[in-house]
Amino acid sequence: MITKKNATITAVGGYVPDTILTNKMLESKVNTSDEWITSRTGIKERRILNDVNLATSDMAAFAVKNLLQESGIDPKSIDCVILATSTPDHILAPTAPLICEKAGLINAWGFDLNAACSGFLYALSVGASFIESNRYKRIIVIGADQMSAIVNYEDRDTCVLFGDGAGAVLLESSTDENGLIDNIFKVDGKGNAFLSVPAGGSLFPASALTIEHKKHFIQQDGRTVFKSAILGMTSTCIEIMERNALKTEDIDWIIPHQANLRIIEAVSNNLNFPMNKVKVNIEKYGNTTAATIPLCMWDFKKDFKEGDNLLVTAFGAGFTYGSTFLKWGKQHTQKL
């Protein structure tokens, strides 16, 4: 008889740069204020990678090293790395191999996945499939983005929102009930018109004109994204709860994508879920895109107990969105 294997999160790591960009500091760059930013987004500060010699791969490697150090896992035992990012070091070659090199994962292969702010959840699902198939034993899934590289600091509507960071989790197989239980993912290609970096790809390659018109920076219709995010995250949370016969009281924690505190509060209200059970760290980091969810797992890992039911939800450019239901696994701890 074949025993079903679940893919379980057994270790978490994270990294944020040392440089802090506060709302007060942004007041000197654009026509804004601490009160305006805080009341509309919940963000007080964000971290910025300001070393020109470092990039997304370095933040991701630092997060992986943190995971390995805290858990006592041998880097040689890692089979695969899946990186979710919208800000790769280069358009070509991929960033995952650089992470393997910098983090000493000499036996691992890896690849990049771009689903914007939903990227970590999508990558987690792919990694879980690899584990469940019994092809691989240990997979590190990373969400990392250097959003400061694609933010126009003359545009107050976007520059106040984003920060830099990386989070990583280790997936291993488990024969108990812990692990990733279910996913619901959706896309809406019409969303491309409302949130994107227009230039730099094959449609609009870099040119003097795209640079002049600042088409290599994030551009968004904030009102449309705001409404769509609330609808998308709420609807997929409800759908996954119904599909798994879950009631509000069955969920121990919700980890939402950290895009805007008002979005998070609206989703929580729609689900009739108390905010004291919703993990929020947006005030410290802003929107780090694919990194927000693993950074929440890293920040609050001491709050999660083995077997806790977690509902994780995200929404991003594309539009991409979805929700994941998982049971928290037993965590590795470093033996001193």
Q: Which residue has the tokens 């760059």?
A: 29
Q: 311 Cβ partners below 8 Å, 6+ apart?
A: 237, 240, 241, 246, 251, 253, 254, 255, 323, 324, 325
Q: Which helix (H) or strand (E) holds 238?
A: helix 222-243
Identify which of 270, 336, 333, 335 has the alpha carbon closest to the alpha carbon of residue 67.
333
Q: With beta carbons less than 8 A apart as the criterion, state whether 330 and 6 touch.
A: no
Measure CA of the first residue to CA of the last residue in the chain; give whole Å.
Answer: 39
> Please, where are the H alpha helices in 47-193?
56-71, 96-103, 119-132, 156-159
Torsion of CA 226, 227, 233, 235, to 10 degrees: 180
Gyration radius of the chain's alpha carbons: 19
**Catalytic site residue from 80, 100, 117, 296:** 117
**Residue 167, exposed/middle/buried by CB under 10 A (0-12, 13-18, 19+)?**
buried
Three-state secondary structure call for residue 153: coil
Q: What is the C-alpha to C-alpha distance for residues 154 and 158, in angstroms, rounded to an integer?
A: 9
**Catalytic site residue from 23, 66, 178, 287:** 287
Q: What is the C-alpha to C-alpha distance for residues 45 and 37, in angstroms, rounded to an integer?
A: 10
257 is catalytic: yes
**Catalytic site residue from 6, 159, 178, 257:** 257
- Residues marked active site are found at 117, 257, 287
